[in-house]
Chain A
Amino acid sequence: MFKQIKTVASFTIAETLHRKSFWVTTVLFVVLMAALGFFMPMLLQSNADDAGANPTEVQIEESVLQNSFGEGSVCYLLEEGEKQFTDLSALLQGLGYARVEPVADEAAFEAAKAYTAQGNNTVCLRVAPAPDASNPVPVVTLVTKDYINGAIVQAIVQSALDTQYKSETLTKLGLNPEEALKLVSFNVPILMETTGSDPVGSMIFGIALMAIMFFSILFFGSAVATSVAQEKSSRVMETLVVSARPKAILLGKCLGSGIVGLCQMVALLSTAALSLRIFVSDAQRDLFHMPELGLKSILLLLVFFLGGYSLFVMINSACGALVSKMEDLQQASMPAQLIAMASFYGGYIPTAFSAVPGSTASTSTVTMLIPFTAPYAVCGRILNGTEMDTKVIALSLLLLIATIAVCAWFSVKVYTASVLHYGTRLKLSDAWKLSKAEKTARVFD
């Protein structure tokens, strides 16, 4: 039995290495990994620039400014009751509005709002006195056509009105107008330093690795399903099942594909590591704390990758055995692919959020305990540098191994019952019934 598994695995490896699609995918991902290292310094630089900028300065794209405040822009201004600002029109024109048109009453303001709704590069601003004397801050309403541009305009107008209002208030309290303006425009600079690991580098690395892991599982799972279906459709299965036990064929195939998948993954990670070493400077690495993976983390990554791979490849092999025509394979493999995709998103997304400061990791912990999502959840958390309870990891691994064992047992049953079934595509339930009806024959023992 073990010799047969080894023989099938060796043949599967040789066959995979002869396949063009394997090399195209590998080369593509190697290039992507190399590109990741090449572009990482630019990504890190962009983040560094953002982090170093004054957070109180409003960063607005030039094009947005031109659209909202440029030529032809109009601000309809309704000032109710006592004036809250000395010269609001001048202030608004200073912001860039081509024209500030005072509005006499509420009816005219409503008409201006209707005009604004038609997208005529206009805004409406209503300034009213404070309704409550204990809090004498004026009530300002800004009306824009849509939220996207409106949010930017609001940020600019608010900043200007805020500064103006505070400055005028301080002047009324006896301060020199120039000093008052300087005071309200001034921010205490805070320089930020971090001592722990920053999630940026780890997150980028984690996303890349998760994507590789997902595609690897999807690619090799689908390759095993295709291989099984091809053996049936080409009728080589007839010769195969009298040469080796179906159990050995199935396990050998999964093992062979797993070894190739693992080697591919190691090659990609090595490329990524080499690329990062070449293109990312030590200073950038220190600033963004690229993940430092210890032996324990690497072992866990390996174990959970292999676990996830085994789980999905077993399901795929059973799907391949259900069909005898290649054209039926896509439909038969659909449930396996959906499970794989749902597991990836369900496993990785909560993990990514668990790295966000202040978030609770309860969802991510749950996904660690669901065998289908566990490989992504655990690997994701290792790469994000999120702390994990050893007991949860152990339980997750235990559940994963138990599920793999159940899936392997189920897949072997379905595969054994289906391999010599030709004709219409079998439903999983039919294959299961067949496996129960067709008790083990001699070569299947």
Chain B
Amino acid sequence: MGIALKQLTKVFGEKKAVDKLDLEMPEPGIYGLIGTNGAGKTTTIRMMLGVLRPDGGEVLWNGAAFAPNAPRYGYLPEERGIYAKSKVAVQLRYFAELKGLSKSEAADATKWWLERLRITEYADMQAEKLSKGNQQKVQMITCLLHDPELIVMDEPFSGLDPVNTEQFRELLLELESKGKYIFLSSHQMSTVEEYCKNITLLHRGETLLQGNLKEIKHGYGHTRLIVDAPPDALALASDYGLTLLDRRGDDTTFSIPADNADARCEKYLRTLLEKGILPLKFTLSEPSLHEIFIEKVGAEEAATAESPLRG
């Protein structure tokens, strides 16, 4: 059940924008679609929403092909677009009616969402006069006012100030709790890491990594050690094969070699304790999504560069 992309392929000329992508989201939640520029994220989204016809494969909703209104979906594109000269409420009602709501339903939904995102005072203002953050809220309302089952958001947090980011964060979690299927496409790995249970990493149209984010990270094991301790203690780290990565404030981050990672850290900690040094922080962590992304894409780039077939 839910949404499934089967062997989805799109070719532009000689370039494969998306190559045999399999993706499944059987339950409601937030799914992360990540990748570099030109990885095929937008093409995947457009095929998913039926704007582009796939050259191969299919998109299924509850096991059947998409129909015009099954599921109801909302789309927040990466490139924000609004009718600059139109009043906010007028264009929201317009989009609501286009999405199948009656006039009164459209008016009610517009009113409700303007209040929900706290921009009621801008209802009768031309959209071009709004700040970027408020324009983004208008776009978000356009995406949601017909109560879609499937929501696709392309970079929903880009350009938002901390207050608006927090509002969007609350909204996203609220939508998740209401059982919506949400696709989140983003370059901001921290965002994806925070919200998504499952991810697909695309690179040049190919799937580099896919699955449950927690499991993916588990697979890597502990690769980072963050220590807050006196300089003498930090100097001992190299004895256990730990490599200094970063220093921020009181925290020092080490990279841990893959072999016997946990055992090395344990030995290092024991040494510190035996010397009477009690570190204020000693945290083992899995790699961040950002690190995984860099590693995966970097390896792929290197492999492509070395390949004799590289065109």
User: Which residue numbers of A lie inside 8 Å of B, CB to CB?
Assistant: 3-4, 7-8, 11, 14-15, 18, 231, 234-244, 420, 438-445
Main secondary structure of the interface of B (DSSP, over half): loop
Residue pair B81, A237 in contact (C-beta under 8 Å): yes
Interface-lining segment among B94-102, B174-182, B221-229: B94-102
Interface-lining segment among B43-51, B231-239, B263-271: B43-51
Given contacts A234-B81, A239-B139, A242-B75, contact A11 B94 (CB under 8 A): yes
Given contacts A239-B75, A239-B77, A243-B98, contact A441 B50 (CB under 8 A): yes
Given contacts A14-B90, A239-B81, contact A443 B97 (CB under 8 A): no
Q: State in angstroms the CA–CA spacing of A15 and B87 once bound together.
A: 10
Q: Report chain A residues within 8 Å CB of B82.
A: 234, 236
Q: State in angstroms the CA–CA spacing of A178 and B41 once bound together.
A: 106
Residue pair B79, A235 in contact (C-beta under 8 Å): yes
Shortest CB-to-CB span from B156 to chain A, Å, is 14
Known: A441-B50, A443-B49, A443-B51. 13 other contacts (CB 8 A): A3-B97, A7-B94, A235-B80, A235-B81, A238-B81, A239-B81, A239-B139, A240-B98, A242-B75, A244-B98, A438-B53, A441-B52, A442-B53
Q: Report chain B residues within 8 Å CB of A439.
A: 53
Q: State in angstroms the CA–CA spacing of A172 and B155 once bound together.
A: 110
Q: State in angstroms the CA–CA spacing of A231 and B86 once bound together.
A: 12
Residue pair A15, B86 in contact (C-beta under 8 Å): yes
- Asked whether B84 is an interface residue with its Cβ less than 8 Å from the other chain, the reply is yes
Q: State in angstroms the CA–CA spacing of A440 and B97 once bound together.
A: 24
Q: State in angstroms the CA–CA spacing of A64 and B280 once bound together.
A: 111
Which of A7, A235, A443 contacts B50, CB < 8 Å? A443
B102 to A, closest residue via Cβ: A3
> Could you list 18 A-B pairs, sorted by A, with CB under 8 Å?
A18-B85, A231-B81, A236-B81, A237-B81, A238-B79, A239-B81, A239-B95, A239-B139, A239-B143, A242-B49, A242-B75, A243-B95, A243-B99, A438-B52, A438-B53, A439-B53, A441-B47, A443-B51
Main secondary structure of the interface of A (DSSP, over half): helix
Residue pair B139, A441 in contact (C-beta under 8 Å): no
Residue pair A236, B51 in contact (C-beta under 8 Å): no
Within B29-81, which residues are at the interface with A (CB < 8 Å)? 46-47, 49-53, 66, 68, 73, 75, 77, 79-81
- Asked whether B142 is an interface residue with its Cβ less than 8 Å from the other chain, the reply is yes
Shortest CB-to-CB span from A437 to chain B, Å, is 10
B76 to A, closest residue via Cβ: A239
Given contacts A11-B94, A242-B51, A439-B53, contact A236 B99 (CB under 8 A): no
Q: State in angstroms the CA–CA spacing of A3 and B79 once bound together.
A: 27
- Asked whether B83 is an interface residue with its Cβ less than 8 Å from the other chain, the reply is yes
A232 to B, closest residue via Cβ: B81
Shortest CB-to-CB span from A10 to chain B, Å, is 8
Q: Report chain A residues within 8 Å CB of B143.
A: 239
Q: Report chain B residues within 8 Å CB of A237.
A: 81
Q: Report chain A residues within 8 Å CB of B79.
A: 235, 238
* The 3 A-B residue pairs with the shortest CB-CB distance in the complex, in nearest-first order: A442-B50, A235-B81, A236-B81
Shortest CB-to-CB span from B60 to chain A, Å, is 12
Q: Report chain B residues within 8 Å CB of A14.
A: 90
Q: State in angstroms the CA–CA spacing of A234 and B91 once bound together.
A: 14
Shortest CB-to-CB span from A428 to chain B, Å, is 20
Q: Report chain B residues within 8 Å CB of A3.
A: 97, 100
Q: Report chain A residues within 8 Å CB of B50.
A: 242, 441-444
| Residue picked from B75, B86, B97, most chain A C-beta under 10 Å | B97
Q: Report chain B residues within 8 Å CB of A11.
A: 90, 94
Residue pair B98, A7 in contact (C-beta under 8 Å): yes
Q: Report chain A residues within 8 Å CB of B99.
A: 243
B67 to A, closest residue via Cβ: A442
A1 to B, closest residue via Cβ: B68
Q: Report chain A residues within 8 Å CB of B97.
A: 3, 7
Given contacts A11-B94, A235-B79, A242-B51, contact A442 B84 (CB under 8 A): no
Residue pair A239, B142 in contact (C-beta under 8 Å): yes
Q: Report chain A residues within 8 Å CB of B139.
A: 239
Residue pair A440, B51 in contact (C-beta under 8 Å): no
